[in-house]
Chain A
């Protein structure tokens, strides 16, 4: 079904259209919230809040715009506002998902160990980035959005986005450097 049609039906009060919208976007919003907050519980709460906002804001959606970018902008604004309001950066990030660590099992155990350690360090290093830097790196490197899409979601010039992504990656590289004692 066409997304605009789904939204029209949602606005008309259709429960099944709303469930279609939830099924289509819940996973993406949940993952952005999880990667941003580092906590599964926090991510569940924030996903609910974002969808509550979405339900209220749906009548204001301009059908000519990219819905996913519009929704991600809504999510980004909510996550960053809440982060600044509640200072949840003080809380510890969840342990890195062990199922993912298990996925990396390959032929070279030593190389696997280094890769696992790098993933854990980068996951924990996300907490050391500012809210804006963290969001830009999540959208670009974790959600795989193009620079143009990130610029649309964040409402920033393309050059600013590229520069922020580069600086965020440099910060993560320095986190790895610190953790490895200055040797690569």
Chain B
């Protein structure tokens, strides 16, 4: 037998599953081949080590979490049902209707055969709107300057009133 064949039969040999000529052939090979004999010894050691491996106990915390699984699942199901019931309220139907109309409009704008022209028109209108707002803003800026000038004049005139000067004359 070759060393490769011995490696294939090693587990069966160590577990006593080989019988007859196979068992005798493996035993004879192991007696004559130090490499395979070493491997068999190491495998025996590994099997012996695994036989004494730990069997840990789950912690009380883990057990409590496992016991609580049905309650957790039920709580989750209750939350899902509450959300579903909220979304199915008749009061929300106008919102869904409005949303649907909006969606149709958006779809129309995006996918209509003449959508490009439509988008162009919207774009033009939008830029017109922006231009108008800019003009208004600029006018508002000019108006603000005028108001400031007028208010300065009013204050100046108010200070020059004779009525206020008369008070000072009385003191003298």
Interface residues of A (CB under 8 A from B): 13, 15, 18-19, 22, 26-27, 30-31, 34-35, 40, 43-44, 47-48, 51-52, 55-56, 97, 99-100, 103-104, 115, 118-119, 121-123, 125, 137, 141-142, 162-163, 165-166, 169-170, 172-177, 183-184
Contacts and interface: CB of A to CB of B under 8 A. Distances in A.
A86 to B, nearest CB: 20
A168 to B, nearest CB: 9
Nearest to B59: A44
A43 to B, nearest CB: 8
B110 interface: no
Interface stretch (B23-31, B35-43, B124-132): B35-43
Contacts of A137: 50
B134 interface: no
A143 to B, nearest CB: 9
B39 A22 contact: no
15 contacts: A15-B70, A19-B67, A26-B58, A27-B55, A48-B69, A55-B70, A55-B73, A100-B54, A119-B53, A142-B53, A162-B11, A162-B12, A169-B46, A175-B46, A184-B38
B75 to A, nearest CB: 13
Given A19-B67, A22-B63, A177-B38, A122 B58 contact: no
Contacts of A22: 63, 66-67
B8 interface: yes
A176 B57 contact: no
Interface centre among B45, B47, B66, B69 (most CB of A within 10 A): B66
Contacts of A121: 49
Q: Is the interface of B mostly helix, strand, loop or mixed?
A: helix
B48 interface: yes
Contact of A100 (B8, B52, B63, B66): B52
B167 interface: no
Contact of B10 (A55, A97, A115, A166): A166
A18 B70 contact: yes
B62 A30 contact: yes
B50 A122 contact: yes
A97 B53 CA distance: 9
B65 interface: yes
Contact of A18 (B59, B61, B63, B69): B69
Nearest to A56: B73
B21 interface: no
Contact of B39 (A100, A115, A125, A173): A173
A159 B66 CA distance: 36
Nearest to B63: A26
